[in-house]
Structure 1
Amino acid sequence: MHIRDLPHPDPGVPDVRTGGAFLRWLCAQQLGGQLSALAWGLLNVGAIAASPLPVGLAVQAVVDRDGRRLILAGGLVLVLGLLIAVGGVMLHRAAVTNWITAVARMQQLLARKTTELGSAMTRRVAAGEIAAVSTGDLEKIGWFVEALSRFGAAALTTIGVCVALACYQPALGVLVALGVPVLALAVLPLLPPAIRRADAQRDKAGRATELASDTVAGLRVLRGIGGEELFLGRYRSASQEVRRAAVRSARMWSLIAAVQVLLPGLLLLAVVWYGARLALDGTIAVGDLVALYSAVTFLLFPLRHFEEIAQAYAFAKPSATRTARVLAQQRPAGGRAGDPAAAPTGDLHDPVSGLTAPAGRLTAVVCGDPDAAGRLAEHLGGHPPSADDGNGPGSPPSVVLGGTPLDELPREAARRAVLVQDKDPMLLSGTLGELLDVPASGRVGAAEALAAAQCGDVLTALAQASVDDSGDPMRTHITERGRSLSGGQRQRLALARSLVTDPEVLVLDEPTSAVDAHTEARIAEGLRDLRSGRTTVVLTSSPLLLDRADQVVFLQEGKVAARATHRELLLQHSAYRAVVTRAPDPEPAMSAGHPEQEGRTA
C-alpha cells in the first residue's frame, strides 16, 4: 500500500473484541508493508552490525603492516556505509508509510462508524472521547505500528550477532550471548507498573479532553449563567491531574531508560576487562578484541528499540482499547440483501412502545420525559434501544414500516424511507443553497420547504449579509453550526432541510422549541399542508402542534398510555393534561391506569 493510493478501497471489518485483538488485526491488514519495512530494517541494522568486522580487520592489518588487507577493510567500510544509508532511508520511508496507512485505515473506520450511527453516536459515546480517539489515540497506535518493524529488525539482528560472536570467539562470544538476553529481559519487571501508569495517564487525559469538549460545546449557555469560571476551575483541576499522572509515568520510563544504559555499560566493561586479559595472554588477537568491543557497542543500539517498542505498546494498548470500544458500537445496519431502491410504505409501528403512526397522517407523540422522547426518535430511525433503557435482556424488536422491519432493509433504503431530525440538528458551513442541496425525492422544492418552515425573516437577514451584490440568500455563507444565526433561525433552516428531503416517514423531535408562538402556529400549518399524504411523527408537548395533528399518542414509562386527538386527551386524561399544560396532575391514580379511562382514550 502506497500513500498515493489512499484512501483504502475498503478499510475492512476490524476485530474489536479487545484492544490487543484490534492491534493484531491492524498489523495483519498491512502485513506486506510490515515485511517490506522489516527487510529494509534488516539491511540497515545488519550493515551496522557488520561494521565492527572491517574495523577489526583494519586494526589487525595495521598491526601486521598488511596494506592489502587495509585496503580491503576500507572497501568494506564504504560498502557497508552505502548499505546503511540506503537501508536507513528506505526503512524510514516504509515505516512512516505503515504509520500513515494505519492511521488512515482507522480514520476511515471511524468515519464509517459515524456515518452508520449518525446522531446516535454521541448518545452512546461521549463527544470528548470520540475527539480523543480520532486525534491522540490514533497517533499512539500509529507509533506502535511504525516501531514494530524496527523492533523486529533489531531483535533478529541481535540474535544473529550473538550467534556469530559465539562462533567467532567462543571465549568472549558466550559471555555476550548470555549477557544480552539478560539485558533485554531486565526491564520486564518494570513494564507492568509503567503500563499501569501510562493507562492512568491516558484515562485522565481522555476525561480532560471530554470535559474540554463538553465545556466548549456549552460555552454559550455557560456564559449566560455565569458558569465559565466554575468549569474553567474543573478543567484546571483535571489538567493538573493529567500533569501529575504524566510525571509519574515519565519517572518510570526514565528508570527503564537508565537501566537500559547501566546494564549494557556493565556488560561492556566486563567484555573489555576479560578481552584485555585474553589479548595479553595471546588467546585472541588485538583486532579480534577491537571487533568484539565494537560488536558489543553495537548491541547498545538495538536495545534502545526494545525500550521503544515497550513504551509504544504501553501507550498504544489503552488507545486501541478506546478505539475498539468506539468501533464496537452497533446498530442493525446493512440489513439483508435486497434492492436498495425499493423502500416500503405503510404504517410505522414500534413494538417496544406500542406506537403506531398511520401512513400519510400527522402523528404527534407526547412523552413526559424529554430524554425518553429522544430515545424514541432514535429507535424510530432504526437504532436499537440501549441496554439501560429498561427493555430487559435480549435484542429488542425492530421498528416495522409497512410490515417490513427496518433491520431487514438495506441501509440506503432504510435511510431514504425514514428520516429523523433530533432536537439539536447540525448545520454545516457553506451557502444556504448547499445546505438545502441534499438527497431528495424532488417532490418538494427549496422555496416550498423554506416557506413551510417560516424562514422568510431568515432569508431577509441572509440577503442583507450577502458578501456579493446579488442579494441572493441562497448564495450567502452560513458559518459552522450556524453560529451566525439565532437558535430559532437554525431550527427553522434545519426543518426546511428535512422537508426538502421529503422522506416516506419524517420524525421530528421538538422541531419548534426555539421559536415564538405565532411562528410556531404558522409552522404547524405549513408542516401539515406540505406533508399531506406523507407519514409524519412529531415528538412535542406544544399545544399548537398537537392541535393540528391527526392523532396524538401519549406515552408513559415508554409505553402507549392513550391515543386520541389533542382536545379529547385534554378532557379525558389528567396525566396528559399535566404534561401539556405544565400543571400538577390532580388524579395520578386515575390517569395511570383506570380501565374506563384507558378504554375511552385508547
Structure 2
Amino acid sequence: MQISDLPYRDPGVPDARSGPRFLWWLGRNQRANQLVALGWGLLHFCGIAGLPFCVGLGVEAVVDRDGGRLLRAGGLLLLAGAATALGDTMLHRAAVTNWITAAARVQQLLARKTAELGSALTRRVAAGEVVAVSTGDVEKIGWFVEAVSRFLAAAFAVVAICAGLLVLSPALGVVVAVGVPLLALAVLPLLPRATRRADAQREKAGRATELASDTVAGLRVLRGIGGEELFLGRYRDASQEVRQAAVHSARMWSLISAVQVLLPGALLVTVIWYGASLVQDGRIAVGELVTVFSAVATMLYPLRHFEEIAMAYSFSRPSAKRAARVLSLTRDAHTAARSADDSPAAAPGAGAVSAPEPGGDLYDPETGVLAPAGLLTAVVCGDPDLAGRLAERLGGHPAGADASASVLLGGVPLDELTLDQARTLVLVQDKDPVLLSGTLRELLDVPASGQVTAERALTAARCSDVLEALLQSAPDGVTDPMDARITERGRSLSGGQRQRLALARSLVTDPEVLVLDEPTSAVDSHTEARIAEGVAELRRGRTTVVLASSPLLLDRADRVVLVHEGRAAAFGTHRDLLRSDGRYRAVVTRETEEEQRRAATEPVRRDTARPGALAEALRGGHGDGLMGEHGDELMGGLTDRLPDEFSEIEESA
C-alpha cells in the first residue's frame, strides 16, 4: 500500500476488543509494508554494525603495516557507509509510508463508524473525546506502527553486534552481551509511572479542549450576559493545569532519557577500562579494543530505538484504547449486520433486502406512529427527548432501548436495508443541524434526486434575508450569494438563519421520506408560518414527518399524531384534536392543569367552542348575554355581514 493508493477501498473490520488488540490488528494489516521497512532497516543497521569491525580491521592493518589489508578495510568501510546511507533513506521513506497509511486506515474506520452511528455517537462518547481520537490519537497510533519496523531492525543490529563481539573478543564480548540487555530493560520500571503522567496530561488537555469548544460555541450568548470573562478564567485555569501536567510528565521522560545516556556511558567506560587492562596483559590486540570500543559507541544509536518504541507504545496504548472504544460501538444486531453487508468485502446482495417500492407508508411499531405516504404528518410529543429519539427511529437509526423493533417503510424494515438504501429513502434533520464551512453552493451540493433546485429549496425555507446577509458580509467581488462563504458551523449566522439553511439543504435532497425535528424552533412566528407554507407546498406528494408542537406548523399538516407516554394516543387534524383531546390541547397551548380544571368547570365558556355558540353568547342566548338585553338587535345586522368562515373562526376560538 502506497500513499498514492489512499484512501483504502475497504479499511477492514477492526479488532476493537482492546487497545493492544487493535494495534496488533493494524500491524497485521500492514505486513507487506512492515516487511519492506524491516528490510531497509536491516540494511541500514547492518551497515552501522559493520562500521566498527571495518575500523578495527583498518587499525590492525596499520599496526601490522599491511597495505593490502588496509585497502580492503577501506573498501569495506565505504561499502558499509553506502549501505547505511541507502538503508536510512529508504527506511525513512517506508516508515513514513507506514505511519501515514496506518493513520489513514484509522481515520477511515472512525469516519465509517461516525456515519454509521450518526447523532447517537455524541450521546455515547463525549464530543471532546471524539475530536481527540480523530486527531491526536490517530497520530500517536501511526507513530507506533511506524516505530515497530525500526525497532525490530535495531534489535537485530544489537544482537548481531553482540554476537560479533563474542566471536571477535570473547572476554569483552561477554561484558557487552550482559550489559546491553540491562540497558534495554533499565527503563521498564519507569514506564508505568511515565504512562500514568502522560495519560493525566491527555485527560486534562481533553477537558480543556472541550471547555474551549463549548466557550466558542456559546460565545454570542456569553457576550450577551457578560459571562465571557468567567469562562475565559475557567479556560485559563484549565490551561494551567494542562501545563503543570505536561511539565510533570516531561520530568519523567527526561529521567528516562537520562538513564538511556548514563547507563550506555557507564558501559562504555567499563569496556574501555577492562579492554585496556586486557591489552596491557597481551590477551587482546589493539585493533580488537578499537573494534569493541567502536561497536559499543555505535550501539548507542540503535539502543535509542528501544526508548522510542517504549515511548510510542506508552503513548499509543491509551490512544488505541480510546479508538477501539469508539470503533466497538454498535446500535444493535440489525445495524451490525447491515454494516457488515455494506462492506465492499461482502458478497453482492448478501444479507440485504430489496428496497421498498416508492410510495409506502412509514410505520413505527414501537410507538404506533403511522405516516401515510405522500402526506405531511405532524407528530406532537410532550417530551422533547422522546421526540428526538422518535426522529432517529423513523430515520432507521434506533439506539438503546428504542432498538427493540424496526421501523417499516412500505412494509420493509429499515434495519434490513443497506445504509446506502436507507439514506436514499429517509433523511432526518435533527433539532441542532450542523453547517460545514464553505460556500453556500458547496453547502447545497449534496446527494439529491435532482427534482428540487437550490433556488426552490431556499425559497421554501424563506432564506431571502439570509442570502442578503451572506452577500453583505462577503468580500469585494462576490456578487452571487451562492459564492458567499459560511464560517465554521455557521457561527457568523443567527440560530434562525442556520436553521433555515439546514432546512434548505434537507429539502434539496428530496428524499422519499423527510423527517424534521423542530425545524423552526429558532425563527419568529411570521417566518415560521411562511416556512410551514413553503415546506407543505414543496413536499406535496412526498412523505414528510414534522415533530413539533407549534400550532402554525400543525395547522398545515394533513395529519397530526399525538404521542403520549411513548404511544400514539390520538390522531386527526390540528383543529379536531384541539376540540376533542385535552392532552393534545395541553401540549400545544401550554395549558396548565389548573387551567384545564378551570375550563372544565365553566360550561358556558367551554360551550362557546361549538359552532354558533359565540354569536349565541353575544346576543343573550345563555340568559345574561355578553351584550345584554339588546343583543338580538345588535347582532341582527352583524350576522348578515359576517363571512362564511365565521363558523370556522368560532371553532378556532
> What TM-score do you get using the length of structure 2 for normalisation?
0.83
Measured against aligned partners, the alpha-carbon deviations of 1:461-518 in whole angstroms (never above 9, x if no partner) come to 5566777889654455444444444332332232223223222211001111122212
The aligned length equals 583
Q: 1:3 to 1:482 in 2, by over 3 A?
A: same
Q: How does 1:567-578 map to 2 (within 5 A)?
A: 567-578=575-586
In the alignment, which residue of structure 1 is the partner of 2:242?
242
Mapped pair 1:274 → 2:285: no
In the alignment, which residue of structure 2 is the partner of 1:371?
385
Q: For the aligned residues, what is the CA RMSD?
A: 2.6
Q: 1:437 to 1:170 in 2, by over 3 A?
A: closer
The one-letter code matched in structure 2 to 1:272 is I
Measured against aligned partners, the alpha-carbon deviations of 1:296-346 in whole angstroms (never above 9, x if no partner) come to 222222221111110111111111112222223334244664477765542
Q: 1:543 to 1:263 in 2, by over 3 A?
A: same
Q: 1:512 to 1:145 in 2, by over 3 A?
A: same
Return 5+ residue gaps in structure 1 as ranges: 590-602
Measured against aligned partners, the alpha-carbon deviations of 1:393-444 in whole angstroms (never above 9, x if no partner) come to xx52221111111111122221111111111223334444444343333443
Q: Among 506, 510, 533, which residue is 1:525 paired with?
A: 533
Once the two structures are overlaid, the 10-residue window that deviates more, 461-470 or 274-283, is: 461-470
The one-letter code matched in structure 2 to 1:157 is A
The one-letter code matched in structure 2 to 1:288 is E
CA distance in 2, matches of 1:161, 1:557: 75
SS of match in other structure, 1:51:
helix
In the alignment, which residue of structure 1 is the partner of 2:613?
none
- Contact 2:353–2:416 (8 Å) recurs in 1: no
CA distance in 2, matches of 1:407, 1:366: 25
- Contact 1:127–1:214 (8 Å) recurs in 2: no
CA distance in 1, matches of 2:399, 2:525: 33
Q: How does 1:66-85 map to 2 (within 5 A)?
A: 66-85=66-85
Q: 1:41 to 1:361 in 2, by over 3 A?
A: same
CA distance in 1, matches of 2:266, 2:258: 12
- Contact 1:340–1:410 (8 Å) recurs in 2: no
Q: Tell me which structure has the larger Cα radius of gyration.
A: 2
Q: Among 388, 394, 405, which residue is 1:380 paired with?
A: 394
CA distance in 1, matches of 2:502, 2:149: 50
The one-letter code matched in structure 1 to 2:32 is G
In the alignment, which residue of structure 1 is the partner of 2:189?
189
Return 5+ residue gaps in structure 2 as ranges: 342-349, 598-653
Q: 1:341 to 1:73 in 2, by over 3 A?
A: same
CA distance in 2, matches of 1:470, 1:576: 49
Q: 1:301 to 1:476 in 2, by over 3 A?
A: closer
In the alignment, which residue of structure 1 is the partner of 2:12?
12
The one-letter code matched in structure 2 to 1:55 is V
SS of match in other structure, 2:500:
helix
Q: 1:89 to 1:522 in 2, by over 3 A?
A: same
- Contact 2:114–2:121 (8 Å) recurs in 1: yes
> What TM-score do you get using the length of structure 1 for normalisation?
0.90
Q: Among 493, 508, 532, which residue is 2:501 paired with?
A: 493
- Contact 2:532–2:556 (8 Å) recurs in 1: yes
Mapped pair 1:439 → 2:447: yes
- Contact 1:574–1:587 (8 Å) recurs in 2: no
In the alignment, which residue of structure 1 is the partner of 2:558?
550
Q: 1:446 to 1:290 in 2, by over 3 A?
A: closer
Measured against aligned partners, the alpha-carbon deviations of 1:51-75 in whole angstroms (never above 9, x if no partner) come to 1112112222222222222222222
Question: Where in structure 1 do 4 or more consecutive aligned residues deviate above 6 Å?
Answer: 463-470
The one-letter code matched in structure 1 to 2:371 is A
Once the two structures are overlaid, the 10-residue window that deviates more, 559-568 or 8-17, is: 559-568
In the alignment, which residue of structure 2 is the partner of 1:594?
none
In the alignment, which residue of structure 2 is the partner of 1:357?
371
- Contact 1:354–1:560 (8 Å) recurs in 2: yes
Once the two structures are overlaid, the 10-residue window that deviates more, 47-56 or 458-467, is: 458-467
CA distance in 2, matches of 1:286, 1:483: 74
- Contact 2:355–2:412 (8 Å) recurs in 1: no
The one-letter code matched in structure 1 to 2:589 is T
Q: How does 1:382-531 map to 2 (within 5 A)?
A: 382-386=396-400, 396-459=404-467, 472-531=480-539
- Contact 1:466–1:472 (8 Å) recurs in 2: no
In the alignment, which residue of structure 1 is the partner of 2:361?
347
CA distance in 2, matches of 1:462, 1:270: 74
